[in-house]
């Protein structure tokens, strides 16, 4: 696997599980005749998605953004979401000569099971953190919400992905925008959840944004293409309006977590509004 170079950073676009979610829920108020032009639904109206963790070599450090999905939840969970290939992240790290112990920083954009599944693994009947030498960076608000669930978010926050990491003292809670390494900044992107964060890499005048679920796939770039899963959809809209002009103007690379086709895209604006074009890294 060859890295994508962004100035001094080496970026690896990994791909963990493929899965399926309801197409209507994925596109919110957008009617099916519109969204079905960009995503093909199966007999259960589900569209194909993937989870794409991003690995960054920053100087001597290895930074992993998102941990993908795990198999801890078993067959029923796998069936509901059509999950295939959970845990492929580990093979991809191995192919790069890395073991989980080599990862220095894990960045959890938020703690939903499709993003934070391999925060932990099952070993000898116990659930334990996987990245034992890493600090797991998460927004304080997100960790609070993941540990104080309600009926509307309970299906997404699974305690087994969160509690063992907290008990081991591996979470490092951050608040607001924080440059954690030179050129690597955590940026709050609320809307999908209140405590969601994205990651911005800047080097040699180039910018790459890991969008988290502010833009789950490139097809979600248009301002109103907001998931019904978002807890605060109007906040999603406001955050998009705050960042899109700069991202389009500087030609920022956008890495989305769930695009089934391309790991990278770029925002373009025309007379009909914003859309994203796929790029091959």
Q: Give the whole-angstrom CA distance, residue 259 versus residue 157.
A: 21
Least separation in angstroms between residue 74's CB and Zn ion is 20
Give the residue nearest to Zn ion (CB): 213
Looking at the Cβ atoms of 183 and 260, the one nearer to Zn ion is: 260
Stretch that binds Zn ion, among 70-78, 112-120, 153-161, 261-269 (CB under 5 A): 112-120
Measured between alpha carbons, how far apart are the two ends of the chain, in Å? 12
Stretch that binds Zn ion, among 12-20, 111-119, 157-165, 244-252 (CB under 5 A): 111-119
Q: Which is nearer to Zn ion, 19 or 171 (CB)?
A: 19
Hey, which residues between 220 and 259 contact Zn ion (CB under 5 A)?
Answer: none
Nearest CB to Zn ion, comparing residues 58 and 111? 111
> Minimum distance between the CB of residue 125 and Zn ion, rounded to whole angstroms?
29
Closer to Zn ion at the Cβ: 7 or 233?
Answer: 233
Instruction: Give the angle subtended at the CA of 213 by the CAs of 210 and 215, to the nearest 5°.
Output: 75
What is the chain's length? 281
**Contact set for Zn ion, span 24-43 (CB under 5 A):** none
Tell me the window of 97-105, 110-118, 154-162, 260-268 that interacts with Zn ion (CB under 5 A): 110-118
205: part of which helix (H) or strand (E)? none
**Residue 51 C-beta: closest distance to Zn ion, Å:** 7
User: What is residue 69's three-state secondary structure?
Assistant: coil
Give the residue among 216, 221, 211, 225 at the shortest CA–CA distance from 260.
Answer: 216
Q: What is the total count of residues that contact Zn ion (CB under 5 A)?
A: 2
Q: Distance between CA 204 and CA 148 in Å, rounded? A: 41
Nearest approach, Cβ of residue 229 and Zn ion (Å): 8
C-alpha torsion angle, residues 165, 140, 184, 131 (rounded to 10): 0
Q: Is residue 213 close enough to count as binding Zn ion by CB under 5 A? A: yes
Q: Is the CB of 16 or the CB of 114 nearer to Zn ion?
A: 114
HSE of 216 in the Cβ direction (CA atoms, 13 Å)?
Answer: 29
Asked whether 104 and 191 are in contact (CB, 8 A), the reply is no
Segment interacting with Zn ion (CB under 5 A) among 31-39, 145-153, 208-216, 240-248: 208-216
Residue 124: how many CB atoms within 10 A of its CB?
5
Closest CB to Zn ion among residues 202, 220: 220
| Closest CB 126 distance from Zn ion, rounded Å | 27
In whole angstroms, what separates CA 92 from the centre of its chain? Answer: 17
Contact 26, 227 (CB under 8 A): yes
Q: Which is nearer to Zn ion, 109 or 202 (CB)?
A: 109
- Map tokens 């690995």 to a residue: 55
- Contacts to Zn ion by CB under 5 A: 114, 213
């Amino acid at each position: 696997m060859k890295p994508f170079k962004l100035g001094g950073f080496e970026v690896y676009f990994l791909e963990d599980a493929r899965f399926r979610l309801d197409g209507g829920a994925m596109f919110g108020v957008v009617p099916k005749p519109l969204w079905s032009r960009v995503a093909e639904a199966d007999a259960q109206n589900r569209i194909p998605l993937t989870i794409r963790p991003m690995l960054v070599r920053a100087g001597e450090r290895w930074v992993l953004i998102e941990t993908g999905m795990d198999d801890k939840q078993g067959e029923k969970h796998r069936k509901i979401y059509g999950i295939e290939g959970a845990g492929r992240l580990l093979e991809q790290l191995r192919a790069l000569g890395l073991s989980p112990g080599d990862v220095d920083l894990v960045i959890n954009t938020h703690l939903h099971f499709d993003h934070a599944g391999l925060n932990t693994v099952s070993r000898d009947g116990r659930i334990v953190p996987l990245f034992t030498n890493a600090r797991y960076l998460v927004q304080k608000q997100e960790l609070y919400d993941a540990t104080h669930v309600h009926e509307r978010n309970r299906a997404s926050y699974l305690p087994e992905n969160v509690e063992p990491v907290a008990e081991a003292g591996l979470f490092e809670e951050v608040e607001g925008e924080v440059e954690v390494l030179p050129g690597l900044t955590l940026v709050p992107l609320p809307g999908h959840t209140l405590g969601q964060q994205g990651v911005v890499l800047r080097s040699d005048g180039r910018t790459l944004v890991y969008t988290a679920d502010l833009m789950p796939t490139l097809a979600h770039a248009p301002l109103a293409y907001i998931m019904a899963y978002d807890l605060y959809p109007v906040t999603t809209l406001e955050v998009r309006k705050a960042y899109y002009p700069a991202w389009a103007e500087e030609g920022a690379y956008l890495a989305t977590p769930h695009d089934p086709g391309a790991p990278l895209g770029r925002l373009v604006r025309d007379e009909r509004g914003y859309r994203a074009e796929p790029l091959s890294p």
